[in-house]
Chain A
Amino acid sequence: MRIILFIFLFTGVNIFGQDISIEFKNMSIKSCLETLNEKYKANISFDQSMPEMSKTVNLNIKKSSIMQVLKSILKGTTLDFKQVGVNIVVFQKTTSMSDSDTKDLKMYTISGRVLDKSSGEALPGAYIQIIDNLQGIIANDYGFYTLRLSAGSHKVSISYLGYISQTEILNIGSNKEITFELEEDGIVMNEVVITEQKIKSEEHISNLQMSKLSVPMGLMSKVPTFLGESDIIKVFQLMPGVKRGGEGGTSMYVRGGASDENLVLLDEAPVYNAGHLLGFLSVFNTPALKKAEFYKGNADASFGGRLSSVLDVTMKDGNNKKFSGYGSISNIAANITLEGPIIDNKTSVIISGRRFYLDKIVDIFIKGLFPYNFYDFNIKLNHELNKNDRIYLSSYLGKDILDFGDALPADSISGNLNGNLGTDQGNKTRTFRWNHQYPNQRTFHNITLYTSDFNYNIKADAINNSFFINSSIKDIGAKFDVDYQANNARKIDYGIQYVFHRFNPSIYNSLKDKLEELPIEQKKIPNHEYNTYGSINQEFKKGLASTLGARISAINIYGKTFMQVEPRISLRKLLSKNHSIKASFAKNTQYVHLIQSSSVALPTDLWYPTTKNLPPAKSAQYSLGYFTNIGKTKDIQVSVEGYYKHMNNLVEYKEGAVLFFNKNIEDKLLLGKGKAYGAEILIQKNTGKLTGWIGYTWSKALRQFDKINNGKEFYAKYDRRHDLSVVSSYALTEKFDLNLVYVYSTGNPFTPITAKYLMPSPSLNGIDIMPIHAARNSYRLNYSSRLDFDLAFKKGKNNNLEFHMGAYNLLNRVQPSRVDVGLNKDGKLVYREKGILGFILSFGIKFKI
């Protein structure tokens, strides 16, 4: 790792330190500059329309620096140049951006939004670059931007991944509000995309944010996943630093963290359980989503409350120009999304629904054999009050239902269970937002109000017994966020947040006599969370930039307050146009724990808040990364990141603790600590005929609890030394796409029974066979290796019909998830590693209306 970084750090090309010899004979200044760019990769930017560009020069220069060469070329003209980072900008002296001149020039504020031309959808994170000086700014989550420009003419470029970039000349003489509209790029192989990619690649190098994963939504929906259902969480699980849990599951273990350490947000409302179908599919219905960004390290200070990561998912706003619709049908589910204007260019709506219907298919053959289904429903309205104010209202509703009804055989357990058993769980979120751009100022604010509900219920009826278990969380939150673009080099963000949480960790209700000993109800636990946060992004000279931020979080429960200061610091140094290094440090605090068994997989999650006996979990993470672009057109983004993270107040159950029917859960828990470190490589290509990525992670994750494993350190549940994933989408022709996923990972650690012994029961009526376990997680399962594919055939006008055929685990290799003891073919007892899923064929249709 150390050697790799060392090599990368010293491969950056630096033209400024070179002496060159060159001859120009009757060449225009424009040609001279182009020659320097071509021959010496000088990164000189200039406006070709400047009048003196056609002036001819005759020069023969020996062993001079690039600066001296430029001085000679521009001598006697009104042109000048300036070094900006690793670039050189040539400009007309009268509209120069030199520091001395800039002070004398009046600066104006240009603000507005970046939108999709056909749908009016805001493009969050769109990149706006001033060609004069190559300064760039990023539109915020609502597509709003603010620029500071001097009087005169300026060329700007606006780009967004998956859209055709646009160059505009702005004549500035006053404050202005300008809306940029970009056209979606339907053909991914043209030259414009290469230009767009070039700028996007520069953002990859120059953006201060590291440890962030993003995949274009178009590519997201192409990655082959379980039974043909595209799933954003499954896609992020294929990226370095994000480990999947059990086979096919949607739980994520990020940089050595646990599955409860990920903040999952849908339009800013937290989603407590992001999994459906016992975790096989996530709750996110991909067609209804605009973007999904994953922060596995130093997230913005406005995010907090979890130790390891943030998955920030945004729903589409809805097309405000025309009605459209799209949907899909797969082996197991169908979904449809409809969107359109209510008032043209002002108000729009999007509605999306998905229903899992495997139960209905199975019913055709054997009624009631598979009594499980789920559904998701998303709706979002947005309305432009005026050109500076916009409101959004969005909601998600999802539910899983498992109802055996009369299908469960009688006498199965207690001898009197008459077969009425069921469980359901679901999430509900609602978000209201109001954006306001202060006219002719550089300030933007957003107010968010949200609620989030998660609950699960288990009910069982028997002849003489009946019980009901309920656990739920309800959040009501409010946020006020402000963005202030002080100038093109400095941005200040700050905000406040309040959340009321109400936890019902578990409520048991026994309706009949036999279970009367169960507690009827446990107390509900309310608490109040307060956060304030802010950060300053600053670009310095010589390619240096920093983000200094902090979050102050506090929680009040039963009159006791816990407060933490969480610094967030990022640094970036541009080594050249295509190379940068970044470093970051972040502290995080988590005021809620997901209490899980280390071995028993239950369909329910028990979220429990911080209390005086259960202090908040804390983490600190240090990251260092190297970023570069490679390839002929520099369209392949490469990042290498290393990290070290330590965590305190992690929670595990005591051995022997019963997971249900606990009157006092806090007594059953142990507190411990953890550490994790590793290195990640991501090579990503988002445009062209071939898109996809290669991700590799080397990592270690350890835990230490005084009362587990005799106090000795042990490997965390999903500690895996190596994880490799290759994801590719190849446009075979205009009609055929071939999408492949290959995954290799080291086996998970586990605790085997290595021997047994006999122990007579105290009443001497029998003898038990007791297991002898090895040290906690001291053995490993075999490695996993899996190949999935999806072949897409497009048909119809504008390819509005797609047929998909795919396979999960094409090689039908077992993905070891557990070890049991069984008889082999020779009738001998042996250990066997088993998985969950084998080869599964899938078919699907996607359509656009």
Chain B
Amino acid sequence: VISPEPLEVELPNSEPQLVISATTIQPFGSVILVSRSFDALTVKDTIDFNSSTLLDKILVSNAIVEITYNSKKIVLKEIFRGIYGSVELEYLENINYDLYVKDPSTGLEATASTQYVDNLVDFELVQKNYDTIYSFTSTWSDESNRNYLIASNKLTSNLNLFKNVDHSFLKLFSSNYALYDASNKNNNGKYEHKPFYTPYVKGDTIIVSLSAINLDYYSYLTAYKKSGSILNQILAEPIRTLPTNVNNGLGYFALYGTKSKILILE
């Protein structure tokens, strides 16, 4: 048996697009990450974020990022490379927030629209510590008619946004957020975010959060989570297109309230 050499081929790349991601970071409130899509041959599976050349190519600095609501326009400031936020932004329910982003270096523009969802759900946190690991369990009763929730735990001592970039494999075993659909009310409004185990060193900080989100963002996160699951990547129909609410771009623009508990590990 002799194997032939593979054929080296060229595939046309799609034009770069703006990528919008909005999340809540305590204590900044909601922040917007603006980046660009990049050539599929730039990296294979992981990105070395020590490469400033690559980051310069991907993260959009000096962008114009504006949010308009109630006839008021807020210009977001760049608080970290590619991350934009503003303390002036108010969080009001039942009104539209319109996002406008322009990348001055490429001239790319994108828009998106969303509504803020406040979190009226509080939770209790049960923690247990073992020799080298901690476990956390969040429980809550949803009596606020918030149907879609995201519960997450994060080790803030390692809060380096660009660490642990791994597209696939470890995610199954280090999953630390979960999505909850309370719309069917099957659980009598009682929910439990199962134990999250983390190795720690003394002095590390854990932020445990619970956020209420709308159905569209829930659907987006569900697809996003599936696309990163190792089980899905091996045994599932691939998700080729993540849903987006960004016009002329990718990602998702969502504003939501978060309740958090901060623990310093002993």
- B42 CB → nearest A CB, Å: 7
When the two chains form the complex, which single residue of B4, B10, B242 contacts A770, counting CB atoms closer than 8 Å? B242
Which chain A residues lie closer than 8 Å to B45 at the CB level? 769
Whether A832 touches B25, Cβ cut-off 8 Å, given contacts A759-B224, A838-B2, is: no
**Is B177 a contact of A821 with CB atoms below 8 Å?**
no
Q: How far is the CA of A535 from the CA of B33 in the complex (A)?
A: 69
CB-contacts of B211-266 with A (<8 A): 221, 223-224, 226-228, 231-232, 234-242, 250-251
The listed residue (B21, B152, B158, B241) touching A773 by CB distance below 8 A is B241
Which of A753, A764, A822 is in CB contact (< 8 Å) with B23? Answer: A764
State which of A249-257, A272-280, A593-601 sits at the interface with chain B.
A593-601
A813 touches B21 (CB 8 A): no
Q: Which of A761, A776, A809 contacts B177 (CB 8 A)?
A: A761
- Asked if B241 and A655 make an inter-chain contact with CB atoms under 8 angstroms apart, the answer reads yes
With A757-B251, A758-B58, A759-B251 in contact, is A824–B236 under 8 Å at CB? no
CB of A784, distance to nearest CB on chain B (Å) = 11
Closest A residue to B235 by CB, please name it: A659
Q: Is B115 an interface residue (CB 8 A)?
A: no
Interface presence of B161 (CB below 8 A): yes
B33 x A821 contact (CB < 8 A): no
A653 at interface, CB cutoff 8 A: yes
Contacting residue for A769 out of B11, B25, B47, B174, CB 8 A:
B47
Looking at B96-104, B121-129, B162-170, the stretch in contact with chain A turns out to be B162-170
Contact call A755/B38, Cβ cutoff below 8 A? yes
Q: Does A642 contact B (CB under 8 A)?
A: no
Which of B12-20, B67-75, B87-95, B132-140 lies at the binding interface?
Answer: B12-20
Cβ–Cβ contact B41 & A821, under 8 A: yes
CB pair A769 B177 closer than 8 Å: no
- Say whether, besides A600-B235, A769-B165, A755 and B13 are in contact (CB < 8 Å): yes
Closest to A812 in B: B4
Given A754-B11, A755-B38, A757-B38, residue A762 in contact with residue B221 (CB < 8 A): yes
Across the interface, do A599 and B238 meet the contact criterion of CB distance under 8 Å? yes
Q: Once the chains are docked, how many angstroms separate the CA of A583 from the CA of B8?
A: 45
Instruction: Give bound CA distance, A838 to B4, whole Å.
Output: 6
In this complex, what residue of A is CB-closest to B45? Answer: A769
Minimum CB–CB distance from B202 to chain A (whole Å) comes to 20
Contact status A654-B237, CB under 8 Å = yes
Instruction: Flag if B37 contacts A831 (CB, 8 Å).
Output: no
Count contacts on B: residues with CB < 8 A to the other chain: 72
One of B7, B158, B224 near A833 (C-beta < 8 A): B7
- Distance in angstroms from B201 CB to nearest chain A CB is 16
Instruction: Answer whether residue A782 sits at the interface, using C-beta atoms and an 8 A cutoff.
Output: yes
Q: Is A760 in contact with B7, judged by CB distance below 8 angstroms?
A: no
Q: How far is the CA of A824 from the CA of B33 in the complex (A)?
A: 34
Which residues of A (790-849) have their CB < 8 Å from a CB of B?
809, 812-814, 816, 819, 821-822, 824, 829-835, 837-841
Contacts of A602 in B (CB 8 A): 235
Chain A residues with CB below 8 A from B19, complex form: 757-759
A467 to chain B, nearest CB (A): 13
Contacts of A512 in B (CB 8 A): none
| Pairwise interchain contact B240-A655, C-beta atoms closer than 8 A | yes
* Cβ-neighbour of A755 out of B39, B223, B226 (below 8 A): B39
Which residues from chain A contact B11 at a C-beta distance below 8 Å?
Answer: 752, 754, 779, 819, 831
B86 interface hit (Cβ, 8 Å): no
Candidates B42, B165, B240; contact of A776 at CB < 8 Å:
B240
Whether the pair B163, A757 counts as a contact (CB closer than 8 A) is no
A654 to B112, alpha carbons, bound, how many Å?
26
For the complex, give the distance between the alpha carbons of A761 and B23 in Å: 9
For the complex, what is the distance from the CA of A574 to the CA of B223, rounded to whole Å?
60
> Is the CB of B153 closer than 8 A to any CB of chain A?
yes
A660 touches B16 (CB 8 A): no
CB-CB < 8 A to B242: which residues of A? 770
The CA-CA distance from A833 to B8 in the complex, in Å, is 6
Cα distance A821–B44 when bound, in Å? Answer: 7
The answer to whether the Cβ of B3 comes within 8 Å of any Cβ in the partner chain is yes
B136: min CB distance to chain A, Å: 13
Q: Are A770 and B227 in contact (CB under 8 A)?
A: yes
Contacts of A563 in B (CB 8 A): none
> In the assembled complex, how far is the CB of residue B228 from the closest CB belonging to chain A, in whole angstroms?
5
A652 and B237 CA atoms in complex are apart in Å by: 9
B40 and A835 form a contact (CB under 8 A): no
Asked if A771 and B164 sit within 8 Å, CB to CB, the answer is no
In Å, the complex CA distance between A654 and B240 comes to: 11
- In chain A, positions 584-599 with a C-beta closer than 8 Å to chain B are 597-599
Across the interface, B152 reaches (CB within 8 A) one of A763, A829, A830, namely A763
A712 to chain B, nearest CB (A): 12
The answer to whether A760 and B161 touch across the interface, beta carbons within 8 angstroms, is: yes
- Chain A residues positioned under 8 Å from B16 (CB to CB): 755
Set of chain A residues within 8 Å of B58, measured between Cβ atoms: 758
- With A762-B177, A765-B155, A766-B165 already in contact, the answer to whether A832 and B6 are too (CB < 8 A) is yes
Q: Are the CB atoms of A773 and B235 closer together than 8 Å? A: no
Q: Bound state CA distance, A486 and B234, in angstroms?
A: 60
Q: Is the CB of B1 within 8 A of A838?
A: yes
Q: Tell me if A656 counts as interface (CB < 8 A to partner B).
A: yes
Scan A266-310; emit 1 where CB is below 8 A from any B CB, else 0: 000000000000000000000000000000000000000000000
B89 to chain A, nearest CB (A): 19
Q: Which B residues lie within 8 Å of A754 (CB)?
A: 11-14, 40
Does the CB pair A835–B21 fall under 8 Å? no
Q: Using A755-B39, A821-B41, A839-B1 as known contacts, say yes or no to A782 and B9 having CB atoms under 8 A apart.
A: yes
Give CA–CA (A772, B177) in the complex, Å.
24
Closest B residue to A600 by CB, please name it.
B235
For residue A710, which residues in chain B have a CB less than 8 angstroms away from its CB? Answer: 241
Q: Which one, B7, B166, B176, contacts A814 given CB within 8 A?
A: B7
Question: Contact partner of B40 among A660, A756, A816, CB < 8 A?
Answer: A756
Q: A754-B13, A840-B1 are in contact. Are A772 and B237 (CB under 8 A)?
A: no
A386 CB to nearest chain B CB (Å) = 56
* Chain B residue with Cβ nearest A832: B6
User: For residues 650 through 677 of chain A, which have their beta carbon under 8 Å from a beta carbon of chain B?
Assistant: 652-660
Q: For the complex, is A104 an interface residue (Cβ under 8 Å from B)?
A: no
Which residue on B lies nearest to A829, using beta carbons?
A: B41
Asked if A751 CB lies within 8 Å of chain B CBs, one says yes
CB closest residue in chain A, given B213: A762
A630 CB within 8 Å of chain B: no
Smallest beta-carbon distance B166→chain A, Å: 7
Candidates A762, A773, A824; contact of B8 at CB < 8 Å: A824
When C-beta atoms are compared, the residue in chain B nearest to A774 turns out to be: B14
Q: Which residues of B contact A813 (CB under 8 A)?
A: 4
- The residues of B with any CB-CB pair to A shorter than 8 Å are 1-14, 16-17, 19, 21, 23, 25, 33, 35-47, 58, 150, 152-155, 158-159, 161-167, 171, 174, 176-177, 221, 223-224, 226-228, 231-232, 234-242, 250-251
Sample 10 A-B pairs with CB under 8 A, ordered by A number: A599-B237, A655-B239, A659-B236, A753-B40, A756-B38, A765-B154, A769-B43, A770-B224, A809-B4, A832-B9
Q: Knowing that A755-B37, A761-B228 touch, tell me 10 more A-B residue pairs with CB under 8 angstroms.
A: A658-B231, A659-B236, A752-B11, A760-B21, A764-B152, A767-B165, A768-B165, A821-B41, A822-B6, A835-B6
Q: Measuring CB to CB, which residues of chain A are less than 8 angstroms from any residue of chain B?
A: 597-600, 602, 652-660, 710, 751-774, 776, 779, 782, 809, 812-814, 816, 819, 821-822, 824, 829-835, 837-841
